[in-house]
Structure 1
Amino acid sequence: MNNQELFFTDDELNLMMIYNPGSREGLIAELTQMQSQLTGRDKELRRWTKSVLSKLSAMSDEVFSSLELLP
């Protein structure tokens, strides 16, 4: 994944701010848990979550720690 693909949309950043426990791996776990509880009506949230999980998996902890995830 290149740097352009690691760009987060405002919706993705908001999702990350809500579920962020303070670490990349923790956020991946929180989003994975949340995603498992989504219903068929949550298509847009499912899409955002899938995209964020993909981007988080492709980045290092160092890059994650440089993100400003403050509400």
Structure 2
Amino acid sequence: MSRFTVEETNLMCIYNVGSRTDLLSELSAMQKHLQSDETELLDLTKSVIDKLTDMNDTEFESISDELIGDFELIE
């Protein structure tokens, strides 16, 4: 997933709902709630949206498994 930075990947993990178009929709909706002084998050979100827009669904599906954490159940 070298196309995305660690920060971008983290943001995608938070808002990923399964598909590229749904992720784009979630990020766009979230971006509208940011304040003008949240420039770092605004820039990060724009960067992710731009990169996702440049991808197709097949490319996204090839990286989507990496967006889901591999959590172990601790008993």
Common topology (TM > 0.5): yes
Question: Cα deviation per residue 1:1-58 (whole Å; 9 max; x = unaligned)?
Answer: xxxxx71000000000000000000000000000011002211110010000000001
Gaps of 5+ in 2: 70-75
Question: Which residue of structure 2 lines up, in the alignment, with residue 22 of structure 1?
Answer: 18
C-alpha root-mean-square deviation of aligned residues, in Å? 1.1
Give the greater-gyration-radius structure (CA): 2
Q: How many residues align?
A: 66
Q: Report the TM-score, using the length of structure 2 for normalisation.
A: 0.83
Cα distance in structure 2, aligned partners of 1:44 and 1:70: 24
Equivalent position of 1:3 in the other structure: none
- TM-score when normalising by structure 1: 0.88
Stretches (4+) displaced over 4 A: none
2:67 maps to 69
